[in-house]
Amino acid sequence: MRRVGVLALQGDVREHIAMLETLGASVIKVRRASDLENLDGLIIPGGESTTISHLLDTSGVREPLRDLIVGGFPVLGTCAGLIMLANEVLDGRADQWSFEALDVAVRRNGYGRQIASFETPVILGNDVVPGVFIRAPRIERWGEEVEVIAWHDHGEGPHPVLVRQGAAWGCSFHPELTNNVVLHGLFLDALAEALR
């Protein structure tokens, strides 16, 4: 059974836990550095990226988690979690930082503010999954080593909304707010493959 942590400082923690447990994972709420021990992977949920970054500092989780990510530890960031993993945040605050695990540039609220939230189909390989976009970051640039896994068309042609670079995954939307477990299943499959 895969042991997956969900960063439980702020955001959509409960929803990610429910999805992972549906798929048979053993889930650990990560609130302190010791919670990172013996995990196979971690999800950084959607929420407020500046709040999450502040709480990572005050909880003492930031540096141990950075060390794990630099070492190739599997991590999936959704919405605010994508911002936390991007190496460039185009409209971030002056004091904003990230783990710089994905060679992407993202724009916070890139699809609009709360009032502009929307749902749309997302093309994920041979599947079409529901995409829930709430103050979602928009991926505006991605490097050659970044694999685009999922796209959607928001009236401007196909645009990447799920990317992967090594063991780091970043997702613009909220898969945890739907009943579709495809994305979480892909992440768990990648963990299983890494453990072989």
Query: H helices of 35-181, where?
Result: 49-59, 62-70, 80-85
* Distances in whole angstroms, Cα of residue 117 to Cα of each of 61, 86, 137, 140: 31, 22, 11, 18
Contact 109, 80 (CB under 8 A): no
Token duo for residue 78: 């959704």
Residue 174 known to be catalytic: yes
Residue 16 known to be catalytic: no
Catalytic residue of the set 152, 171, 176, 184: 176
Residue 171 known to be catalytic: no
Catalytic residue of the set 79, 152, 171, 184: 79
Query: 136 Cβ partners below 8 Å, 6+ apart?
Result: 79, 109, 110, 111, 117, 172, 173
The C-alpha angle 103, 107, 110, rounded to 5 degrees, equals 135
Residues with a known catalytic role:
79, 174, 176
